[in-house]
Amino acid sequence: MSKNSFKVLRPGINTTFQDLGRDNLYHVGLPFSGAIDKRNFLIANSLITNKEDDAVLEFAYQGPLLEFSGSQTSIVITGNVNFKIIKKDTSEIKGECYRTYNLNNKDCLDIISTEKSVYGYLSVKGGFQINKFCNSYSTTVRAEVGPNDGKKIEIGQTIILNASESSIEKSLEYLNSKIEFIRVIKGTNFDYFSEDSIKDFTSKDFIVSKLTDRMGMRLSGPKIKNLKKTNIKSEGLGKGVIQVPADGDPIVMLSDHGTIGGYPKIAVVISADYDKLVQCPPGEKIKFKIISLTEAENLFKIYTMETKNIINKIR
């Protein structure tokens, strides 16, 4: 009997396989990658009763249109996503996030768009039949590594599923909340910038630019003035690091960032706020607030506990 599968009728804008990311390869130039919104990734796998680190399909803005073939499979979508299921008899079911659905032969899953957010996740019971690269299912498109030959999902391709048949009924009441501030810790070159610019950085709005993807988020707003030097000796970067190039517009490094950079680092987004930051779509205003390392560590504990509590509410 042939395996359960999806045929890709529309790939979506940036649909890739992701998991918790790939460790220990910064020194060769490979970033962590992985699901960019970790909380929504973990919730997706929990709802569908997969292992925590099973691969999902991550999509941005517009998701894929997938036609299912085989016996029954179970799926869930997390994030803030507008989607529908088109049954074989052409009747349509409007999809709700954080609720599992069972698909039957020739049903289509149409992931139309993410709403007032960027990323969403599709988790399928049992996961996908794909291979790990260096211990991870994450795709790093720029380096062409990971499942699917390191590429985004393409039109016409077939995605094979691991599970032969499944039926799951689970749901969760959950709303993705917004926060007033993106909290940051002072960066290693914080003192390169003028006092007025630091004031602007922590009090004025910055707008997420269209030049934003899994590698980085460009911001526009008040220009950040550098008093010392606009280039430093190239050195390591990390998720959430905010660099300011000579033009004065900050760039936040995201999960697929280049591993080395030579612009001064004004600040770093705290781990607890990273998921919220990446979901801000182009045009959205954000405000930064500087906090201490101890506060950031405490906020991370709260964030981790909250994630656990959310997952415990799955029924």
Partner 1 sequence: MIKNIYNLGDAALYCDFGDTVNKETNLKVINYFNDIREKNITGIKNIAPSYNKLIIYFDLELTNYKKIKDTVENLDISTCESAKTKKVKIPVCFDDEFALDLERVEKKVGLGKKEIVNQLISQKYFCYMTGFIAGMPFLGDIKEKIRLDRLETPRVKVPKGSVGITEQFCNIYTFESPGGWNIIGNSPKKVFTKDPTKLTLIDPGDEVEFFEISKKEYSKFNEQK
Binding site for partner 1 (CB under 8 A): 23-30, 32, 133-134, 140, 142-145, 185, 187-188, 233-238, 240-241, 258-261, 265, 268-271, 293, 296-297, 300, 304
Nearest distance from C-beta of residue 148 to partner 1, angstroms: 13
Nearer of residues 134 and 160 to partner 1, judged by Cβ: 134
C-beta of 77 vs 269, nearer to partner 1: 269
CB of 128 closer than 8 Å to CB of 2? no
Residue closer to partner 1, measured from CB, 20 or 77: 20
| DSSP collapsed to 3 states, the chain | CCCCEEEEEECCCCCEEECCCCCCCHHHCCCCCCCCCHHHHHHHHHHCCCCCCCCEEEEECECCEEEEECCCEEEEEECCEEEEEECCCCCEEECCCCECEEECCCCEEEEEEECCCCEEEEEECCCECCCCECCECCCEHHHCECCHHHCCCCCCCEEEECCCCCCCCCECCCCCCCCCCEEEEECCCHHHECHHHHHHHHHCCEEEEEEECCCEEEEECCCCCECCCCCCCCEECCCCEEECCCCCCCEEECCCCCCEECCCEEEEECHHHHHHHHCCCCCCEECEEECCHHHHHHHHHHHHHHHHHHHHCCC
Looking at beta carbons only, is 41 or 101 nearer to partner 1? Answer: 41
Kindly state the smallest distance separating residue 259's Cβ from partner 1, in Å. 4
Nearest-approach distance from CB 272 to partner 1, in angstroms: 8
Question: Cβ 36 to partner 1, closest distance in Å?
Answer: 16
Least spacing, CB of residue 247 vs partner 1, in Å: 12
State which residue, 80 or 259, has the beta carbon closest to partner 1: 259
**Of 185 and 310, CB closest to partner 1:** 185
**What does the alpha-carbon distance between residue 119 and residue 14 come to, in Å, rounded to a whole number?**
9
Minimum Å gap between C-beta 90 and partner 1 is 43
Nearest-approach distance from CB 17 to partner 1, in angstroms = 16
Q: Which is nearer to partner 1, 158 or 304 (CB)?
A: 304
227 to each of 112, 132, 222, 252, 300, how far by Cα in Å?
A: 46, 46, 15, 20, 33
Query: Closest approach of Cβ 19 to partner 1, in Å?
Result: 14
Give the nearer residue to partner 1 in terms of CB position, either 56 or 270.
270
